[in-house]
Amino acid sequence: MKNKILLTGDRPTGPLHIGHYAGSIKNRIEMQKEFETFIMVADAQAITDNYDNVAKIRENVYEVVADYLACGIDPAQANIFVQSMIPELPELTQYLLNLVSINRIGHNPTVKAESRQKGYEESVPAGFYLYPIFQVADIIAFDADVVPVGRDQAPMLELARDVAGKFNAQYGDSILVEPEALFPEMVINLPGIDGNKMSKSLGNAIYLKDSREVIAKKMKKMKSDPTRASISDPGDPDKAIAFTYLDIFDKDVEGVAQLKKEYRAGGLGDGVIKQRALEVVDAFIAPIRKRREEIIADTALIEKVLAAGTAAAREKSHKTLKRCKEAMGLNYDFLSLVTS
Ligand code: TRP
């Protein structure tokens, strides 16, 4: 019996890449066995900065679910659901908004950085500005004990704990769970091919759906030690991203150590390292890619998974919202007088 609840989610702005796998999916596959797991495809949140391109978000909901399933998130263990299908979430947000100041929202460093990136400084859409409170509701609505997320989400979790604590202080002890952030230790920060954080918007990602040919092209562009003028010069393996990939994906640790030695001495070309990185990354992706192709072609399967997960998510969040409204004294029952 699983007695602790885990909630986490992703914005469906594109298919998932190997950085997502290393940074979160792998950990979820482990944790789904121990926790009652809810995984949210956060389409409503994704729309806060894509309101002019809802079709893109809509398409990527199924892409992300296909990625989850292909990687090994098991719908028998985890409830995969679509955020916009849960009206309890915005309703809960409405009550939580009273417990947070505008200043507090404005000080969230993640939202500040995102605003700058999107050029929102002049005029921030209110929906985007408030998304952290909606995210707090996402977490609280599921009575989540743990929320495994990246470090950038730390301010959201701090907010969630504060808001839950404030709600309890105002409306009744232990109505809401104060969630813990979990920054999984086993996760790896896999850089993109240019050495920056792997991200769709930077165009430096390798996707779980990429063909071998596509991966090969990306590997060719991969950053290597920029100070090295010719192959015979000594190189620094720490500056060659292909080596970072070998460190993560190549099981032949000694072989990699030997290559690093040769690279340092000079005489070992980057092409050799990149070819080896291609082999190990493609070997990792190949079985996922194959499963994914079958899954993405099977819309009925994806919808069956989402139907079950979303129904479970609605039931859970409905219970929490009812508990909150009762605690607040908003427990009218006069609708029962209506006879049709
Ligand atoms: N903000 C998260 C992201 O950008 C997605 C998300 C939405 C989420 N709601 C959540 C994560 C609740 C954890 C818990 O990836």
Q: How far is CA 81 from CA 20, 65, 310, in A?
A: 18, 9, 4
Span from the CA of 148 to the centroid of ligand 1 (angstroms): 10
CA-nearest residue for atom 6, ligand 1, is 9
CA distance 140 to 166: 12
CA of 135, closest atom in ligand 1 = 9
Q: What three-state secondary structure class fits 6?
A: strand
CA distance 259 to 261: 5
On the question of pLDDT at 43 being above 90, the answer is yes
Residues lining ligand 1, CB < 6 A? 7-11, 40, 42, 45, 135, 138-139, 147, 149
Mean pLDDT of 198-219: 96
CA distance 143 to 179: 8
Residues 144 and 317 sit within 8 Å (Cβ to Cβ): no
CA distance 243 to 256: 8
Span from the CA of 149 to the centroid of ligand 1 (angstroms): 8
Tokens found for residue 215: 């991966």
Ligand 1 pocket test target in 68, 108, 149 with most atoms within 8 Å of CB: 149
- pLDDT value at position 150? 86
pLDDT above 90 as % of the chain: 91
Span from the CA of 35 to the centroid of ligand 1 (angstroms): 18
CA distance 137 to 198: 28
Span from the CA of 279 to the centroid of ligand 1 (angstroms): 33
Span from the CA of 142 to the centroid of ligand 1 (angstroms): 13
pTM of the model: 0.94
Tokens found for residue 197: 């954080």
- pLDDT value at position 41? 98
Tokens found for residue 63: 């892409």
Residues 6+ apart with CB under 8 A from 114: 49, 120, 128
Residue 80 dihedral angles phi and psi, to the nearest 5°: -95, 125
pLDDT band at 122 (very low <50, low <70, confident <90, very high): confident
Closest of 289, 292, 272, 269 to residue 215, by C-alpha: 289
Q: How far is CA 267 from CA 5, 229, 262, in A?
A: 53, 12, 7
Ligand 1 pocket test target in 5, 8, 47, 49 with most atoms within 8 Å of CB: 8
Distance of CA 89 to the CA centre of its chain: 19
Span from the CA of 219 to the centroid of ligand 1 (angstroms): 30
Mean pLDDT of the chain: 95
Mean pLDDT of 187-212: 93
On the question of pLDDT at 148 being above 80, the answer is yes
- pLDDT value at position 49? 95
- pLDDT value at position 1? 81
On the question of pLDDT at 156 being above 90, the answer is yes
Residue 8 dihedral angles phi and psi, to the nearest 5°: -155, 175
Surface-to-core class of residue 301, CB atoms within 10 Å of its CB (0-12 exposed, 13-18 middle, 19+ buried): middle
- pLDDT value at position 339? 83
- pLDDT value at position 187? 74
Tokens found for residue 209: 């759906």
- Highest mean pLDDT: which range of 1-5, 75-79, 109-113, 151-155: 75-79
Residues 141 and 89 sit within 8 Å (Cβ to Cβ): yes
pLDDT band at 147 (very low <50, low <70, confident <90, very high): very high
Per residue in 214-264, pLDDT (tens digit) is 999 999 999 999 999 899 999 999 999 999 999 999 999 999 999 999 999
DSSP type of residue 180: E
CA distance 193 to 157: 30
Closest of 18, 32, 11 to residue 188, by C-alpha: 18
* 82 or 2, which is more confident: 82
CA of 7, closest atom in ligand 1 = 14
Span from the CA of 339 to the centroid of ligand 1 (angstroms): 42
Residues 6+ apart with CB under 8 A from 217: none
- pLDDT value at position 95? 98
Residues 244 and 271 sit within 8 Å (Cβ to Cβ): no
